[in-house]
Amino acid sequence: MRIVAGLARGRVIAAPPGRDTRPTSDRAREGLFSTLATLTDLDGARVLDLYAGSGAVGLEALSRGAASAVLVESDMRAASVIRRNAETVGLPGARVVVDRVERFLATAPAAFDVVFADPPYDVSDEIVARVLAAVPLAPGGVVVVERSSRSPSPAWPEGVEGVKERRYGEGTLWYGRAVVVTP
């Protein structure tokens, strides 16, 4: 795996050992960021990478201009790989949090402009819906969920509307945007 574009373009990053993580492929990440560019401006964005695995998505966001990326991963071995990958990328703004996603979201300190969630495929749709309902999304912010292509579209919480979906082999990326309410 490598960083696809931006300041750290071409830097090789590692995947955690074993079969418990499913890193987002370079091709899917390129598609993710191409689609994000049509929905939001990454320059200076606050990014949240849930179920971070290798950290590839959050680190790619930093490489492409995000100001900060919080990478949440519950597996200690994977979190160690994320820390090493952050050192390899060498950009400021990465913060690795070793915690369960649900517990982190219960105390998340701020709203995020872009949220990426790539839960294990065996996580139930109900849990994914609860996670999405707890995401602190800034007004106009974008949330992306990666799931098996056999999964149904996510149940977007009130205030978030589904705007796009893109399939990449076995996985599909679903995009939602926080609705901006004007008084």
Asked if residue 5 is part of any domain, the answer here is no
Q: Is the pLDDT of residue 80 over 80?
A: yes
Spatial separation of the C-alpha atoms in residues 10 and 40, rounded to whole Å: 24
Confidence of residue 22 (pLDDT cuts 50, 70, 90): low
How many folded domains does the chain comprise? Answer: 1
**Would you state the pLDDT for residue 112?**
97
Asked if residue 9 is part of any domain, the answer here is no
Asked if residue 48 is part of any domain, the answer here is yes
The residue segments making up the domain with residue 98 are 26-178
- Taking only the tens place, the pLDDT of each residue in 116-169 is 999 998 899 999 999 999 999 999 999 999 999 999 999 999 999 999 999 988
**Would you state the pLDDT for residue 26?**
74
Three-state DSSP state, 29? helix
**Would you state the pLDDT for residue 19?**
57
Asked if residue 171 is part of any domain, the answer here is yes
Please count the CA atoms within 13 angstroms of the CA of 179 that sit on its side-chain side: 10
Confidence of residue 180 (pLDDT cuts 50, 70, 90): confident
Find the mean pLDDT for residues 48-54.
Answer: 95
Asked if residue 53 is part of any domain, the answer here is yes
pTM, entire model: 0.93
Asked if residue 70 is part of any domain, the answer here is yes
Assign residue 69 the CATH number of its domain: 3.40.50.150
Asked if residue 152 is part of any domain, the answer here is yes
**Would you state the pLDDT for residue 183?**
62
Asked if residue 6 is part of any domain, the answer here is no
Q: How many residues does the chain have?
A: 183
Q: Is the pLDDT of residue 21 over 80?
A: no
Q: Is the pLDDT of residue 83 over 70?
A: yes
DSSP H or E segment with residue 117: strand 112-117
